[in-house]
Structure 1
Amino acid sequence: MKPTLEDVVRPDMVVGGYRIEKKLGAGGFGKVYLAWRDGNPYALKFIHLESVGEWGWRELFIMLRHEFPNVVKLLSHFKWPEEKPEYLVLVMEYVPGVMLYQWARDKNPCALELVEKLLPLARALKEVHAQEVKHRDLKGDNVLVRESDGAPVLVDFGAGTMPGVPRVTRGSLAPANLRYRSPEAVSFFLREERKPGERYDYVVKDELYALGVILYVLATDVYPFNGPDDELMAEIRAGKPKPPHVRNSRVPPALSNLCLRLLARAHARVPDAEALCEALEKLLEEAKADPRCWEMPLCYGWTVDGRTTEDAPELVGHDSQAWLRRWIRQKPKRGKPSPPPAALALPAEPPAPPEPPTASTAPTLRTRGRRAVPLLVVITVLGLVLGVVLVLGQLRPTPPAPTPPPAPGQPVLTSPVPAEFSPDGPTPWATHVHEVAPPWKPPEADTGAAPSKADTPAPVTTMTLSSGTTRMKKKAPGSQAEKKGNGSTGANMLIAVAAAANMACPGAQVRKEPAPQACPAGAVETMTRQLGLEIGERHGAGMPGEKQGSSEPVPVKEGPVSLELAGAWKAGADAMGRGGRVVLPDGTRLSGQLCIGEKLVYARITQAVTPTGDTFTVCMELWDQNGHRGVEIEPDGGAIKVFPRVEVETVERFE
């Protein structure tokens, strides 16, 4: 496997006179490292000359010609290594801080703070556009909030353009995240009568639309539109986002209206950055005149009694599905969580620090296992005895105590998720940036919204039905099956006890290959038209748990899986990997479902997420490096392990 930049650039090594400390992040056209020289910090952006060097030269050309306020500054550049240059290195000023969305998540700002944050950014865009420069990849990840003064700083002009720079875009659209594309750009991309080689003319109003998406996310914590690519493009073209003040009642209507003007169609959109600055300055005056609704945090904080919805209680007890939909669309909490309350009990005397283990006192794993066996036997026997006692106690049914009806006007309190909700029914979802992931995304695709130091939940034991087990169906009210079920509590308890026993000693399972299945909607079109990949193309990837430079098999299990693309995937490259254009950069995460067969492990990849957050719906299958579908299970006694380096192939249908 070709060495990656992480293999070459390591902490404490010196590159061009700069000592590397750590990796800061990665984008579509390069990776950024924190480095030091003469006691000062710098941000070094490494751009691979062979694959994306043309984009690097464009960024260098733009940054050398101009210096803008609230835009990261270029300080120097060089090629590296000196003897055989493979990378263009841009030396930028180091901006300590967090990304804009992370700032909102940590700060839980009010509407006034949003305006104060966006106004300097709008003024910076005004200066940028005055020099005929366009960023073309404006999004939350490309705006840093400086730690020292809280000022927004625009970074990463890798996709930028200006008159005189060489044209390198081979596709119809410049690289960018689909969620931030304007309705005009999406309509151009979907136009069937488009001429071959015709390119979209990106204008200032496209940039302002992207800024409107940023404002929408900051105000509501959701994107205005979301979903699989085909649905997302249809919603962007329709251009009817729910007003921010409707989605979040804490958003002042004036700020909501400005956001909608930024997201409107081109003829009704804010015309330029100067007009946007004027509108934001007017909002500041309005906020000072009536600060009540402008100084309230936009989301609930991490308090013990802080509710996460405003109007869910009146739905409880009336329509559980509507209640659940409202509950899922809750505003996520922001801000830093409060410290846990102190324990009521008197503090015990702190235990003495443990002695360091020695060769004679440290028990081996085998010794621990022998000691644990009697304890496990005792626990199992006690569990079975307790189950039998509970069964005998349930043989004589006890009529349930009547529940008094609620007083008029009083809400009915239930558990957070209604008991009537069935997993067999339709599952609604929201599009929260941090908290709720839609069902087409695997769990690894997004970062959760829980605080970094949340309380550790109690351990929960789950039991997964095997493929041969009949799935339980929802019983119709009053049916014969329901009556039988209600009268067999003891039998149900016995089944539960038997299930617990089976969990301790599972029997042999018969594994089957996955059945054929259609690709996700729009996946083939995204791969072939948007990315330019051909069906049947393959590229290397690493399995989860792969150790750098090691061929040691890694353990796998059924369910969601996330692989990492090994090297950049280029469309139109020859058999030796030369030429072509990068469509999925190095480090792209490939997510899907993993299935374990009798001798092989299969995976169906349905989503690709680049290091910059660009998301594509795809259809790919797992292949081994010998050209066979599926990866052979390596013999390893109990655990199921596979070779860590695999390939993925673009397909039209899952076989």
Structure 2
Amino acid sequence: MKVISLFPRAGMFVDGWRVIKEIGNGGFAVVFLVEKNGRRSALKLARHRDSSGDDKQTHARTLRELSALLLLGHPNIVKHRGYGYSEHGNVYLALEYIDGWTLAEWAERKHPTVREVLQVFDKLCSALSYMHSRGVLHRDLKLSNVLIRKSDGEPIIIDFSCANYSLAEELTDAGLPPGTDRFRAPEQFKWLREHKAEHRAKYAFRVADEIFAVGAMLYELLTDPRPTEIQARFSLNSTVILPPPARALNGRVPEALNDLVASILSREPAKRPVDTEALRRELGELLAYSSAEYLSPVHPPSEQRQGGTSEQQTPAVANSSLPGGPTHTVRGWRGLVGGLAALIALVMAGSFWLSRGEPPQPREPQVASAPPPPSSPHSAPLVSAAPAMSPPSPPPVLLTGPETAAPKEGSTVKTTPSPKAPTQGRPSGGRTKATAVADCATMTLVAALAAGCPGAQIRPESFTCPSGAEETMREDLRWEINEPFRLTLDSRQGPFEQVWFTAGADVVGVVPKGVERRQRAVAPPGTIFYGKAYFLSDRMGRSEGPALVIRYDRVKLPGQDERPVCFVVEKPADGYEDGRVKAFNTGGGYVVDRWP
């Protein structure tokens, strides 16, 4: 048997398991495809030993994941196949190897019908109902943690590294449990704001949080034809402004399903299905409905074709004769202009409310009785997506105006209170200056401009590192906090050009040739940084005056997988207009653990 390093390579052995290749790399563990006695498994090796002073407690988390899986045995939940220790003392967990696609990849490759999507979620809810009955909460449900097995199409819930179960020891010092911000229920962010001064306070994760995550996954598949792509998306958990109804973004979504998704994503936990078994029954009712609209692909397969960006594709409109209404796909700059026009029209209603002296109140999404207008694109990148970094509050999304569609004859009409009517639990008095500033801060750039907010901008809030970033930078990448690196900020533009950056848009930077020796060793030429651009109109960091800020939260070194990081570039802006920031495309940034 060969002697192995901390993280083995292909051909080496871990406690008798022969390593074939690395298939996953996260903040808590590295996952390898291994083989033993002719049987393949996934071996999850903790990043640290029990005695290594690991502040992330990856050893303890791996053992707790094992404990959770020992409580479970369901065909749609990954199975354990053993555990042990590597030669260096790192605990490992052997798991059933699933040869399959993530839920997002499956949606893009297989072009499922509405019925097929519901069948997958029906099985997921059955597994979750069983899991919850055993006292286990997954706490990190998302599209990448559900695999669709290629051999039989069965969905399998994986990655229980964030799971919790009855009487389990708490392993985190943070107020919120580990998880992915985009799929967190909005009450988590509300709780965090209310208890930010209480350092020992812990949020009590509940089944209602798990149900919201299921709704977020379903909303993503119904509204986004390319869920694997990195792009701007509507925030799903803002406590101020609600995302548009699924049917408003995709006319193929049946009305009954649109209503169910809206209830799952409700800001009030009591309005969601009471548990996952109740949700499974509601999905079963929809599955029993066999109209033609449930048998059509959720998205036209042409929208999900791989290769080439949306800007390179020609405009397309789906066959309007399909049940569920026409699905309009707007591509390129024409779609962006049309989408901006629609957005401005919507936010003008919000500015009218502000001018009347009342802040806009969140309301449950309404279902339009008519198909969406052509100006409603499926995924036009109009607003800032939820940052990958952990914010103290959810980011802003589109401000939706009052429902204007005429109700169908004989249908039940959902009423919305008048803007003057006070929302339950909140006073209806005039806005204070502090309230006005808070409202402006939570709007998108276009919404803030339409509402007349002073100094409207898209600016980043203070943040902490993504999960696993600090450890990855310190131990794997050998980066030091406050260490400077130089890079080309936007790899699509020349390194010595003045470039316009769209505030709130994704940015991909690259390390150029000719960097100094230290950087070549730890962030060599060709290293790719993934992040998002922001605009500051005042001092808020290392620069003074108007500035471009780019927060990079992932990095990919040549020949390696993506890893979470915290890297910030802040430099003076040479111009600002129409939501864009002008700056020189070469700049230096800093490794950080917080900003500012």
TM-score (normalizing by structure 2): 0.57
Shift of 1:591: 3.4
The partner residue of 2:250 within 242, 248, 251 is 248
Matched, 1:538 2:538: no
SS of 1:237's equivalent in the other structure is coil
Amino acid at match of 2:462: V
Matched, 1:173 2:116: no
For 1:652 and 1:315, the matched residues in 2 are separated by 36
Match of 2:459 in 1: 521
Task: Give the gaps of 5 or more residues in structure 1.
Answer: 328-427, 443-517, 546-554, 565-586, 594-602, 623-639
Contact 1:73-1:93 within 8 A present in 2 as well: yes
For 2:528 and 2:463, the matched residues in 1 are separated by 19
SS of 2:91's equivalent in the other structure is strand
Check 1:168–1:431 CA distance in 2 against 1; reply closer, same or farther (3 A cut): farther
For 2:331 and 2:20, the matched residues in 1 are separated by 54
Matched, 1:302 2:240: no
Task: Give the gaps of 5 or more residues in structure 2.
Answer: 304-312, 319-325, 344-374, 388-455, 472-478, 489-493, 500-506, 512-526, 534-547, 571-584
Check 1:232–1:293 CA distance in 2 against 1; reply closer, same or farther (3 A cut): closer
The partner residue of 1:65 within 55, 63, 71 is 71
Match of 1:109 in 2: 112
Match of 2:206 in 1: 203
Shift of 1:190: 1.5
Amino acid at match of 2:551: T
For 2:457 and 2:8, the matched residues in 1 are separated by 39
For 2:195 and 2:235, the matched residues in 1 are separated by 18
The equivalences for 1:202-281 within 5 A come to 202-221=205-224, 232=235, 236-238=238-240, 240-264=242-266, 265-281=268-284
CA RMSD of aligned residues (A): 5.0
Check 1:54–1:588 CA distance in 2 against 1; reply closer, same or farther (3 A cut): farther
Contact 1:125-1:273 within 8 A present in 2 as well: yes
Amino acid at match of 1:185: Q
Check 1:258–1:178 CA distance in 2 against 1; reply closer, same or farther (3 A cut): same
Match of 1:140 in 2: 143
Amino acid at match of 2:160: F
Check 1:28–1:320 CA distance in 2 against 1; reply closer, same or farther (3 A cut): closer
Match of 1:386 in 2: none
How far does the alpha carbon of each residue in 1:293-333 deviate from its partner, in whole angstroms, 9 at most, with x for none?
A: 111111122299982565779999x9993366679xxxxxx
Shift of 1:526: 4.5
Check 1:321–1:66 CA distance in 2 against 1; reply closer, same or farther (3 A cut): closer
Contact 1:59-1:158 within 8 A present in 2 as well: yes
Contact 2:61-2:162 within 8 A present in 1 as well: yes
Contact 2:483-2:591 within 8 A present in 1 as well: yes
The equivalences for 1:580-591 within 5 A come to 591=531
Amino acid at match of 2:262: L
Shift of 1:590: 5.4
For 1:126 and 1:284, the matched residues in 2 are separated by 18
Shift of 1:62: 1.2
Amino acid at match of 2:257: L
SS of 2:258's equivalent in the other structure is helix
Shift of 1:73: 0.6
For 1:323 and 1:179, the matched residues in 2 are separated by 23
How far does the alpha carbon of each residue in 1:165-201 deviate from its partner, in whole angstroms, 9 at most, with x for none?
A: 2111110001111111112111101215752210100
Contact 1:315-1:323 within 8 A present in 2 as well: no
Match of 1:348 in 2: none
Check 1:34–1:174 CA distance in 2 against 1; reply closer, same or farther (3 A cut): same
Matched, 1:56 2:55: no
Shift of 1:99: 0.2
Contact 1:204-1:272 within 8 A present in 2 as well: yes
How far does the alpha carbon of each residue in 1:395-447 deviate from its partner, in whole angstroms, 9 at most, with x for none?
A: xxxxxxxxxxxxxxxxxxxxxxxxxxxxxxxxx99894xx85967899xxxxx
Which sits farther off after the overlay, 262-271 or 13-22? 13-22
Amino acid at match of 1:15: V
Match of 2:553 in 1: 608
SS of 2:300's equivalent in the other structure is coil
Match of 2:185 in 1: 182
TM-score (normalizing by structure 1): 0.52
Matched, 1:78 2:84: yes
Shift of 1:650: 5.4
State the aligned residue count.
402
Matched, 1:620 2:568: yes
Q: Which one has the largest radius of gyration?
A: 1
How far does the alpha carbon of each residue in 1:7-55 deviate from its partner, in whole angstroms, 9 at most, with x for none?
A: 8421222222122122212233212111112222110111112432221
Check 1:98–1:313 CA distance in 2 against 1; reply closer, same or farther (3 A cut): closer
SS of 2:462's equivalent in the other structure is helix
Contact 1:172-1:198 within 8 A present in 2 as well: yes
Shift of 1:543: 8.2
